[in-house]
Chain A
Amino acid sequence: MNQLTTTRQAKLKELRSRMSWQDVGPFAAVIALMILGTTINPTFLSAANLTNVFTRSAFTGIIAIGATFIIGTGSIDLSVGSMAAFNSGMMIIFMNYLVKTWGASWAVILAAMGLSMVLGAVGGLINGFVITKGRIESFIVTLGTMGIFRSLVTYLADGGTLSLNLSMRGLYRPVYYGTLWGIPIPLIAFFVVAVAGAVLLYKTRFGRYVLAIGSNYDVAHYSAINVNRIRTLTYILQGICVAIATIIYVPRLGSASSTTGLGWELEAIAAVIIGGTAMKGGSAKIWGTVAGAVIFSIIGNILNLSDAISQYLNGAVQGLIIIGAVLLQRTSKDQ
């Protein structure tokens, strides 16, 4: 009996040592925010509202899954928001062109989706290639490509807005607004990307090498890891995540302009950091990132539903949450 309790205590102790604030924190914060939201306005908990909240987190969430890998290696990608805008613009131009010959059909949409994936992967490849072969800080390279993608979309739209052909819009619409088994498609996509990301990060050699590089670049090199190849792959992966987010985003508004995806890169990075991934790399948390993305959209939603704080202060509250989350992680690590 006595022995039993001690083994149980030992197990509990081990479990406790395995779980830390970093692991549990983001999920606790989601629950706390949901309770807060409900007390402020009971409609918060309604199915319609919650669906809306989670669906909105899907864009930055999917991008943030890719960013988790990049930050896991200790790098950064600032170009994702601009890349999403450029991708959106290219998809719209491509569909408007195809619809003339093919007519409004799913084939046009599928072709545009394919284009988005190719563009995302190539964009990521360019980022990764310049960073690794040119031996330039990722911050600098992606700051550059951020500007390039942004101005390309402005150029394509001639300073205005690119609009998707109306008949195509109707056809494409369900990809954002539709549901499968009652669940919005963006949410399903987010979930699938997150599961794939978790398997990739925690269960494959690629994921282990990502964390190894983030943990110590030199040790990774001396452990026969092809550091350049793995880093480039993380950027391609990020590009593909951007492409998936774009595919879901385009039917939402059916347009793209120079302000499309503005600030997404920062929201994605913030979601990753709130989720417990270390900025310097070496440890990455996919599900934490998911929680981080959800936290952002809940905050926005709560501010919308309450009158206490102006929704113009949304950014300030988000900023406080980011700093607070990192502070909490810091203090729990020191203990």
Chain B
Amino acid sequence: MTELALQTKKICKSYGTVPVLFDVDFDLRKGEIHALIGENGAGKSTLVKILAGYHQQTSGQLLRKGQPVTYQSIGAAEADGIVMIHQEFNLANDLTVEENIFLGKEVLKGRLLDKAAMRERSADILQKLGTKINPRTRVKDLSVSDKQMVEIAKALAFNSEVLIMDEPTAVLTSGEVEVLFRIIRGLRDHGVSIVYISHKLDEIKEIADRVTVLRDGYWIATENVSDVSEDDMARLMVGRELSALFPPKDGPPKARAPVLEVRNVSCPKYVSGASFTLHEGEVLGFAGLIGAGRTELMECVVGLRRRTAGSVVYRGKPLSARSYAETIQNNIVYLSEDRKGKGLFTSMRLAPNVTILSLKDHLTKLGLLDSKREDATLDQTIEEFEVRAPSSRALLSQLSGGNQQKIALGKMMQVEPDIVILDEPTRGIDVGTKQQVYYFVRQLVEQGKSCILISSELGEIIGLSDRVIVMRSGVIMGELTGDDINEEEIMLYATGLKGGVVDEPAYHN
């Protein structure tokens, strides 16, 4: 019989009076990669938080190598070799890599810090991970993927036996994902057990040994990954047959009126001379690697970022917009990729989040805020987007990621936009909600509105876009239509093997 690193027996968990986990049995073998999947709100986070000592179960048993244990704190779980790596990093940005790795567990020489020993061990661990990060760099100067490596290094510095990873690839490029997978496999081969939470089923197929599916707080299945297909996993998660993930496109593009003409827009360091045209009733996809300047280009277009050159014309009318407020008045709205950092007020209730762009439509005759009207707008949004919230007076932070995103879409729709610019609209949300977003977008363009879609998920770009523009290092490399919209073509442009600016002055000098 295989040795079990961790096991739960009939674990239940309630927050206050709200039960979120019901009799969950889960086991993690020594030296395996065990994927944990489920829709938002299925209880994945709650389960791993119990494993890692963040929360304690309401009833049921947690076994570590066959022995019953209860972790009263994160520290207790870590001391027992269980470490969780968060989706949002837990690093002190102003400290160096080595200081972060040993944070809270500093090596001492007498009463003073033994910096030399810590430096040596940090360098050693980082080298084992195969990265070239300098241990003396400040964390804030690292790329997102390097921060991830530091998190892993931090876990490994103390010989962790169980590593819990929550959506580790959400912010990584495909090359970085390869590196991460190589490291994870290496850890497994050294006997480390890994719990791997992800929404990306293709990744799970590639990396995991076994997969456990949760739905609505119940254990649904545990399977060998080799025995199930991606479709099987999706079906188990949703609990019903999933109809086509993407809605059918309109067929071949017709001659459509241009609604937004962007010419030679530049923004130092991020975008140089970008031009494109958005037509009525189309989804225009923007593909590219992370850091290609797509977000910055759109921020320039809507007036959230100052552009140093170029023009933007909306339905024949030049937009000189220095402010986003002006752009919104022209019915163009932008959905940020950073939902918690830029999109929504997590500490506020739902209603003020939904109405913040449209407060002037929620006033009484005296010009004061009309809370009844705001509540009505919220109710309408909850109904239209099928938001699942504990109550209509809940705080935004109490909602799962997918439901938060529905609130973000609802907020955006309050300004009755003609053009919507969606930046990574399905990041970190489950497959059911993703499908809902896709159908919503298609429905919008069928009503004659236009949509720009930025996404790092190629499947999404290909499945939803009528036309695709590929960016690389702040430059528009090319435009794809029809059958050319496929993975190979997009990657050729995104990596610079095809297309690009023919006339680049710098080379002539």
Contact = CB atoms under 8 A, between A and B. Distances in A.
Interface of A: 14, 17-18, 199, 202-205, 207-208, 211-212, 215-216, 218-219, 221-226, 282-283
A203 B368 contact: yes
Contact of B357 (A207, A223, A283): A223
Given A199-B368, A215-B346, A218-B341, 14 more contacts: A14-B393, A205-B359, A208-B359, A211-B348, A216-B345, A219-B342, A219-B344, A222-B334, A222-B343, A223-B411, A224-B324, A224-B327, A225-B356, A283-B347
Nearest to B411: A223
Nearest to A203: B368
A23 to B, nearest CB: 14
Contacts, number: 67
Contacts of A223: 356-357, 411
B393 A18 contact: yes
B348 A215 contact: yes
B345 A215 contact: yes
Nearest to B360: A205
Contact of B342 (A205, A208, A211, A218): A218
B369 A219 contact: no
Interface string B351-372: 0100011011001000111000
B345 A212 contact: yes
6 contacts: A202-B369, A211-B352, A212-B345, A212-B348, A212-B356, A216-B346
Given A212-B352, A222-B336, A204 B345 contact: no
Contacts of A17: 393
A218 B345 CA distance: 10
Interface of B: 304, 323-325, 327-328, 334, 336, 338, 341-348, 352, 356-357, 359-360, 363, 367-369, 393, 411
A205 B366 CA distance: 12
A207 B357 CA distance: 14
A226 B367 CA distance: 19
B345 A226 contact: no
Contact of A203 (B346, B360, B369, B393): B369
A211 B349 CA distance: 12
B349 to A, nearest CB: 11
B341 A221 contact: no
B356 A204 contact: no
Can you list the 6 inter-chain pairs with the closest CB atoms, starting with the nearest?
Answer: A203-B368, A224-B325, A222-B342, A215-B345, A224-B324, A205-B359
A215 B367 CA distance: 24
A95 to B, nearest CB: 37
Contacts of B393: 14, 17-18
A219 B356 CA distance: 10
Contacts of B352: 208, 211-212
A216 B336 CA distance: 14
Nearest to B336: A222
Contacts of B334: 222
A224 B343 contact: no
Contacts of A207: 369
A73 B360 CA distance: 21
Contacts of B324: 221-222, 224
Nearest to A222: B342
A164 B411 CA distance: 56
B291 to A, nearest CB: 19
A225 B334 CA distance: 14
B347 A215 contact: yes
Contacts of B363: 205
Nearest to B369: A203
Contacts of B346: 215-216
Contacts of B338: 218
Given A205-B359, A224-B324, A224-B325, A219 B304 contact: no
Given A219-B341, A222-B343, A208 B368 contact: no
A244 B411 CA distance: 39
Q: Which of B338, B346, B348 has the most CB of A within 10 A?
A: B348
A14 B357 CA distance: 28
A282 B353 CA distance: 13
Contacts of B360: 205
Given A199-B368, A205-B360, A205-B369, A224 B323 contact: yes
A204 B369 contact: yes
Contacts of B325: 224-226
Contacts of A204: 367-369
A37 to B, nearest CB: 37
Given A215-B347, A282-B347, A224 B357 contact: yes
Contacts of A222: 304, 324, 334, 336, 342-343
Nearest to A213: B345
A183 B345 CA distance: 42
A207 B348 CA distance: 14
A17 B394 CA distance: 10
Contacts of A18: 393
Contacts of B304: 221-222
Contacts of A202: 369
Contacts of A211: 348, 352
A282 B368 contact: no
B356 A208 contact: yes
A226 to B, nearest CB: 7
Contacts of B323: 224, 226
Contacts of A205: 359-360, 363, 369
Contacts of A14: 393
Nearest to B324: A224
Contacts of A215: 345-348
Nearest to A17: B393
Contacts of A212: 345, 348, 352, 356
A204 B362 CA distance: 10
B341 A282 contact: no
A220 to B, nearest CB: 8
Nearest to B363: A205
B395 to A, nearest CB: 11
